[in-house]
């Protein structure tokens, strides 16, 4: 990959404090990008900013809860005030909650997932669009394979990711004459710490038990970031990661009943191995 593609490009990354977002920040810094990194936890960002600077990139941190519209507006305004433009917006922030829909006592937690995963992308995109039009830039949506087909116990998360896909697919048609490209990314299972940070129905995090979910056959954050960066460079429409992700999409399209059977079986195996909460 030619490193000069990203040099001096102003890139916003939400959810930059860990996982895929953190890895994207560290990788893009090596290519000389100017980074505006958004996350809620300030204490995690100091070292990331330092590493980005040491790698040859320029980085600022804007504390942001993407579920809050005013904070998303501030993120965009602060980025432009510092760097003067926006070339790429990477909507990466999000989290999951595990539990069957009929087990929710109320929809407060459900709504929290929708607000962060879906509306966070909507808010940031809304405020960034005028600047992206000027640079004929790019929007990247980090979705999930669960934005292509659904699994049991993930109604909130799947809803947010399906909504995200629908929003960006429609928006792509609306802005296609403005020179802005939208790239949707559908990762499969990536070793990110995502499972540990999932919220259970009682409001607590899955925590250390979530590590049982991972195995050495799963994709690393480094490899995931490489695929995303390559897709952005080529301004691809979408990328579905992993062979089982691609296969799952096709099975769900050709035979939804077979897809339901397979996913139900896989869910039973996971719950037997890891416990219902995971």
- What are the catalytic residues? 157
d(CA 176, CA 170) in angstroms, rounded, equals: 10
- 50 contacts 25 by C-beta, under 8 angstroms: no
Task: With CA atoms as reference, report the closest residue to 122 among 168, 79, 86, 172.
Answer: 168
Residues 6+ apart with CB under 8 A from 78: 36, 60, 62
Angle at alpha carbon of residue 125, lines to 120 and 130, rounded to 5°: 150
Structure tokens that stand for 68 in this block: 């809050």
How far apart are alpha carbons 172 and 167 in whole angstroms?
A: 9
43 with 69: CB under 8 angstroms?
Answer: no
Q: What would you measure as the largest C-alpha separation in the chain, in angstroms?
A: 53
H/E element holding 37? strand 34-39
Q: DSSP letter at 212?
A: G
Locate 67 and state its tokens: 């579920």
Alpha carbon dihedral 144, 148, 150, 155, in 10-degree steps, equals 60
H or E element, residue 140: strand 138-142
Angle at 32 between CA 26 and CA 37, to 5 degrees: 45
User: What is the distance between the terminal CA atoms of the chain, rounded to a whole angstrom?
Assistant: 38
- Residue 248 · residue 148 · CB < 8 Å: yes
């Amino acid at each position: 990959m030619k490193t000069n593609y990203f040099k001096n490009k102003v890139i916003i990354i939400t959810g930059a404090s860990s996982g895929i977002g953190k890895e994207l920040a560290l990788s893009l810094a090596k290519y000389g990008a100017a980074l505006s990194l958004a996350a809620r936890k300030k204490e995690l960002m100091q070292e990331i900013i330092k590493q980005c600077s040491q790698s040859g990139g320029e980085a600022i941190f804007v504390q942001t809860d993407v579920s809050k519209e005013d904070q998303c507006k501030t993120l965009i305004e602060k980025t432009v005030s510092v760097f003067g433009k926006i070339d790429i917006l990477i909507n990466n922030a999000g989290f999951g909650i595990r539990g069957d829909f009929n087990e929710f006592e109320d929809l407060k937690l459900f709504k929290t997932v929708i607000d962060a995963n879906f509306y966070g992308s909507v808010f940031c995109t809304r405020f960034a669009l005028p600047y992206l039009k000027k640079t004929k830039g790019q929007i990247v949506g980090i979705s999930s394979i669960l934005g292509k087909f659904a699994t049991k116990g993930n109604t909130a998360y799947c809803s947010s990711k399906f909504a995200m896909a629908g929003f960006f697919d429609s928006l792509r048609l609306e802005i296609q004459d403005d020179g802005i490209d939208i790239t949707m990314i559908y990762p499969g299972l990536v070793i990110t710490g995502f499972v540990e940070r999932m919220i259970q129905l009682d409001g607590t995090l899955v925590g250390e038990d979530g590590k049982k979910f991972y195995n050495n056959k799963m994709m690393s954050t480094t490899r995931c970031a490489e695929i995303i960066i390559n897709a952005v460079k080529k301004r691809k429409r979408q990328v579905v990661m992993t062979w089982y992700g691609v296969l799952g999409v096709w099975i769900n399209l050709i035979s939804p009943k077979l897809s339901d059977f397979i996913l139900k079986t896989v869910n039973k195996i996971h719950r037997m191995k890891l416990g219902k909460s995971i």
